[in-house]
Structure 1
Amino acid sequence: MFNTYRTKRSRRAAVGLASAAAALTLALVGCSQSEDSTTPPASSSEHDTQTVVTAQDMWVKATDPDITPGEAMSGVFGTLENHGDENLVITDLKSDAADVVELHEVVDGKMRKIEGDVTVPADGSLLLEPGANHIMLMQITKPLTPGDDVTVTLTFSDGSTLEIVALVKDTSGANESYEDIDGDEAMDHGDMDMSGDADAMDHG
């Protein structure tokens, strides 16, 4: 009887020790998970892609409704504002409406691609307007109809990007020509008025 009693007690003790060990293990795991949940993110790279540049009053000149896809061109205008303390250079442009997107300027009434950096100054702005600097959409894939939206994505020198949604508007003006980089060739640009005359633009 004595030996039987001690055997039962030993079994109870063993069971108790096993339960205590299991409880301790669960407590340690819980502490570990709790510590992990309070660990800050290892990297803040997501914040690095958030641009400090905003766009105001962006619009695009409408094209003729019967354009041949891949041949028409148009301009994007508005204001880019840099709210940061670092100058930002525009390094890349893309659009859902055109196969080629470039930054252009007007010199002696002719448009040409800008050679060199185009900067949105720190705590300043870059004006894009007819007769001056602007974003050029080339090889447009389909007609741009008044009331439509055109998306243009800009990439800056700090790696950030800005997606612009520009409203297509109807304008009227004299025929202008587009001059290539070397200034040797010119081709018809349609009826884009690049003179900067406000009376020639219907902002609807």
Structure 2
Amino acid sequence: MKTILSLAAAATLFASAAAADIEVHHAYAIQSSPVAPAGAAFMVIMNTGDADDQLIAASSDVSARTELHTHIMEDGVAKMREVEGGFTIPAQGHHELARGADHVMFLGINEPFEDGDILHVTLTFRDAGDVEVEIPVDLGQLSNMNAMSHDEMMESEEHKMEHGSDSH
């Protein structure tokens, strides 16, 4: 566990000089299951600059395709979709890439992810350009993804009851 935390700290500090206004924190990656050829990366992207920027692409050699994805509700079912325009990182703010929301998706991974592996990922921003990040694989996070807590389920149900389901 200490190794994973050390690797996460290293990923937080690693960014190119050309993107001084962009910082990546709390990055980790998982594989969706031991037999699935897909994985995802999650992180908090900080923008310390005075203007909004846009994360417009991601790339990596760990998979056939690397895309920016989000979850949407369709007919009451959560589905992942590629996001064409990317994600806005507000000036003096942040955007979280998190499970069940926006994330970096690895499709057709070349080899199964092993706990502690380091994934080399390039995040491309409209203004800051390319930011190279090293993202540790933390398969311990996978069990957290597969099991929603009772409180989260109740919160989700309460939200549906308060706001109704979106059928547009």
Q: TM-score, normalised by structure 2?
A: 0.67
- Give structure 1 stretches of 5+ with no counterpart: 1-46, 174-191, 200-204
Higher relative contact order (CA 8 A, sep 6+): 2
Q: Distance in 2 between matches of 1:63 and 1:132?
A: 15
Decide which of 143, 158, 163 is 1:172's aligned counterpart.
143
Give a deviation string over 1:106-161, Cα, whole Å, max 9, x none.
Answer: 11221111233411111110101111111111111111011111111011112522
- Give structure 2 stretches of 5+ with no counterpart: 1-15, 151-168
Give a deviation string over 1:12-31, Cα, whole Å, max 9, x none.
Answer: xxxxxxxxxxxxxxxxxxxx
| Counterpart position of 1:26 | none
CA RMSD of aligned residues (A): 2.5
- Partner secondary structure for residue 152 of structure 1: strand
Is the CA contact (8 Å cut-off) linking 2:23 and 2:47 kept in structure 1?
A: yes
More strand by share: 2
Count of matched residue pairs: 129
Is the CA contact (8 Å cut-off) linking 1:49 and 1:159 kept in structure 2?
A: yes
| Counterpart position of 2:57 | 92
1:137 and 2:106 equivalent?
A: yes
Decide which of 57, 62, 68 is 1:103's aligned counterpart.
68
Decide which of 107, 126, 135 is 1:157's aligned counterpart.
126
- Partner secondary structure for residue 164 of structure 1: strand
Q: What's the offset of the Cα at 1:64?
A: 4.9
| Counterpart position of 1:38 | none
Larger radius of gyration: 1
Report 1:16-165 matches (<5 A).
49-62=18-31, 64=33, 67=35, 72-108=37-73, 109-165=78-134
Change in Cα spacing, 1:89 to 1:77, as seen in structure 2 (3 Å) is: same
Q: What's the offset of the Cα at 1:58?
A: 0.4
| Counterpart position of 2:157 | none
Q: Distance in 2 between matches of 1:118 and 1:162?
A: 15
Tell me the amino acid that sits aligned with residue 123 of structure 2. L
Q: Among the aligned pairs, what percent are the same residue? A: 29
Is the CA contact (8 Å cut-off) linking 2:53 and 2:128 kept in structure 1?
A: no
- Partner secondary structure for residue 144 of structure 1: coil
Is the CA contact (8 Å cut-off) linking 1:155 and 1:161 kept in structure 2?
A: yes
Q: TM-score, normalised by structure 1?
A: 0.56
